[in-house]
Structure 1
Amino acid sequence: MGTVINRPAIKGDIVHVARDKLGNILVIDDRKHRILSFDSVFEQSKILRSAPHLPVHEYNRAMLLPIAWQEPERVTVLGLGGGALAHGLHQLLPESRIDVFELRQKVVEIAHEWFSLPHSERLKVTTADARLAVDNLPEGGTDLILTDLYSADRMSPAQAQRQFIKACSRALSKTGWLALNYHRMPETDGTLFRELRRQFPVLLVFKSKTNNWVIFGCKTVFDPWTLPASRGKELEKRLPVGWPKLLKKVSMLARAGE
């Protein structure tokens, strides 16, 4: 008996369907975009079909912003989806190593086959539970961690756990960055926010058009407002996602001593 697919409320044509023990994985095309959805109304990934290395969602683009302040040699991405972040990083950072951890092997296969995720020596994708993978990362072994862990209808609870934040902090180099995508802003008097403040002397925040909150933690104290305007323009040439406009939407969330 075939599996009945409930079409999600996303405009376009379903061009591919896969299924594993966690549910359906849909690939949807409209005229300009290719979309990954986990059988829901939510878009897990979205790329331009004419330029698959360009992430479309504003919050995805915003997660790249720490690179404006520091170019990482080693990047860790938690959660692959269609590979929008990983592919963008591969284009943006030609000298860097990118390690991606994705729970679902079929998602990895679809990212390569349908979203043009490159096969590259610089880009390693491992099928593993990202929460456990962080615990096993070497101390100080990565310069940037991007975490975007979502199921079909909700954010992974791991991203809201103190132990997860501590594990990410331990894995980062002394000047490393963490970027987290939250569906709503953590309470500033809650345990999660207090842990973020303990681990990161500088916290920045970006609110997207879709009300996603991207929180950035930096392991060292610095002044983000000294960034020259030319830096955004330089990055725009390498990956045109609107760096100057994105940078203007960043605000200070907390800084040590304040």
Structure 2
Amino acid sequence: MKASAKEIHRSYDELGPIQVMDDGHKRYLAFGTDDEQSCQLIHQPHLLQHEYTRAILLALLMVTPKHITVIGTGGGCLLTTLHHMLPDCQIQGVELRREVARLAYKYFQLPKNDQIKLHIGDGFQYLLDTDSNNTDLIIADMYLADGIDQQQLSQQFIEASYEKLNQNGWLVLNYWLDHKVEAQLVATLQQCFDQIYMCDTGGGNWVIYAGKVDINEPIIQEEKLKQVSSAAGFSLNHFLRRLVVLT
């Protein structure tokens, strides 16, 4: 976040402060810390700014989704981008904090239309309470003011996500690099999913992609890479080169 950024909003809920900062070029969401929860170009809101959110889009090389579930929406930047890239896709956001969702609409240009739905509540509980298993892609980015929501690290969360994905679905998980790839997490992923990849984004995060597809099925096609990169507004090659099989 630039030092020139000025606070244009501050509010509080039961989990603490929520700030919106603006430097005239970009807008930022913060939870009372120096960490940016969201960052958006004011005049190009669909162009992702954080490296890890850009890396998440590698999942669109692995599946062409008709339904996406995003758990932990923050300022809604990823939802805005996904809607821009896939205007016919149904997007279900799940955000723990109602005030954060309100600010996503007010300050971060989150579109209001029938293609994007937003549920307010705990992400893990949402998975447990949802009966259908028709989502193609689950993206989990559950962070609080003091770091990752520990539920996202749990075996139960991985298993619940698996149950909510359709037969060709993918789960995408964002982590800070200081959270080691624990053996139990890897074992749970390997027990549930056929293909598992990891990308060190180079920006302090690593992203896991776990798919319910045949292990021999090719996931990267050159033409699709060009199409997704063009729609995203940047090349995915940087992240594709960092993609490795998680073993």
- TM-score normalised according to structure 2 size: 0.94
What SS does the aligned partner of 1:55 have?
A: coil
Structure 1 equivalent of residue 212 of structure 2: 219
Describe how 1:52-131 pairs up with structure 2 within 5 A.
52-131=45-124
Structure 1 equivalent of residue 158 of structure 2: 165
Q: Is the 8 A contact 1:185 1:213 kept in 2?
A: no
CA distance, structure 2, for counterparts of residue 243 and residue 224 of structure 1: 20
Describe how 1:220-235 pairs up with structure 2 within 5 A.
220-223=213-216, 227-235=220-228
Q: Is the 8 A contact 1:174 1:219 kept in 2?
A: yes
Structure 2 equivalent of residue 41 of structure 1: 34
Please state how far the C-alpha of 1:209 moved relative to its aligned partner.
2.0
What SS does the aligned partner of 1:100 have?
A: strand
Structure 2 equivalent of residue 200 of structure 1: 193
CA distance, structure 2, for counterparts of residue 142 and residue 44 of structure 1: 25
Structure 2 equivalent of residue 51 of structure 1: 44
CA distance, structure 2, for counterparts of residue 150 and residue 39 of structure 1: 13
Q: Does 1:148 align with 2:141?
A: yes
Please state how far the C-alpha of 1:145 moved relative to its aligned partner.
0.2
**1:175 aligned to which of 162, 168, 172:** 168
CA distance, structure 2, for counterparts of residue 244 and residue 67 of structure 1: 13
Please state how far the C-alpha of 1:126 moved relative to its aligned partner.
1.1
CA distance, structure 2, for counterparts of residue 30 and residue 158 of structure 1: 34
CA distance, structure 1, for counterparts of residue 219 and residue 134 of structure 2: 27
Describe how 1:11-30 pairs up with structure 2 within 5 A.
11-30=4-23
Q: Is the 8 A contact 2:201 2:239 kept in 1?
A: no
Q: Is the 8 A contact 2:40 2:108 kept in 1?
A: yes
For residues 74 and 180 of structure 1, do their structure 2 counterparts lie closer, same or farther at Cα, with a shift above 3 Å needed? same
CA distance, structure 2, for counterparts of residue 210 and residue 146 of structure 1: 18
What SS does the aligned partner of 2:64 have?
A: coil
For residues 11 and 147 of structure 1, do their structure 2 counterparts lie closer, same or farther at Cα, with a shift above 3 Å needed? farther
Please state how far the C-alpha of 1:188 moved relative to its aligned partner.
5.1
Structure 1 unaligned blocks of 5 or more: 1-7
CA distance, structure 2, for counterparts of residue 10 and residue 135 of structure 1: 42
CA distance, structure 1, for counterparts of residue 214 and residue 24 of structure 2: 45
**1:32 aligned to which of 7, 13, 25:** 25
